[in-house]
Amino acid sequence: MACPTGYKILNEEWRLSVNRTEKAELIETLQATFNASTTIVVTHQVGLTVAESGELRLKMREAGAGFKVTKNRIAKLALKDTRYEDLDSLFTGPTAIGTSQDPVAAAKTLVEFAKTNTKLTIIGGSIDGKVLDKSGVEALAKLPSLDELRGKLVGLLQAPAGKLARVAQAPAGKLARVIKAREDQLQSS
């Protein structure tokens, strides 16, 4: 028995409205991700297995970054009114994006993964709205991350303090050895 025509139309309208609502939510979520990110890396991924995709997502999370496969139309709509609006021309083909608040994390992780897996190709990206081509993203990936820079800075700050402590202790140590030597000398005579 066929459904009444009115029911079919109503059902189709309901499906479309849910679909539109879902798309609006996706766009809003993606736009919030773009606004919260310092760096966006656009990639093409063709034929990544579920395991490879899972491995990449895990590496991205460990680096403090995110990785999302998205429809180009939704990504282009989400880019509007963000500082990354100029990236819309990169969204063609099988696109996925890496995002991070750390200026280097997404680029570093995706470039390293792409070196070992030819199914992922870096297309371009942006750092704070400045569009980067593939070589720009690769150059960005070679820079130290914020955590690495912090570690180096702490090391640089601790090195002078350590040297100062050793220098300050050296005269006291020498004086103690001289006194001990003199005491030994007096006891032996």
Residue-wise pLDDT tens digits, 80-123? 989 999 999 999 999 999 999 988 999 999 999 999 999 999 99
Residues, the chain: 189
Judge whether 76 and 88 are in contact, CB under 8 Å.
yes
According to the model, what pLDDT value does residue 37 have?
Answer: 93
Q: Phi and psi at residue 114, in whole multiples of 5°? A: -65, -30
Q: Phi and psi at residue 121, in whole multiples of 5°? A: -125, 130
Judge whether 87 and 43 are in contact, CB under 8 Å.
no
Q: Which residue(s) pair with 127 in the sheet?
A: 39, 130
184 or 163: which leads in pLDDT: 184
According to the model, what pLDDT value does residue 164 have?
Answer: 56
Q: Give the residue ranges of DSSP H helices in 37-121.
A: 50-62, 72-79, 105-116
pTM: 0.69
According to the model, what pLDDT value does residue 30 have?
Answer: 93
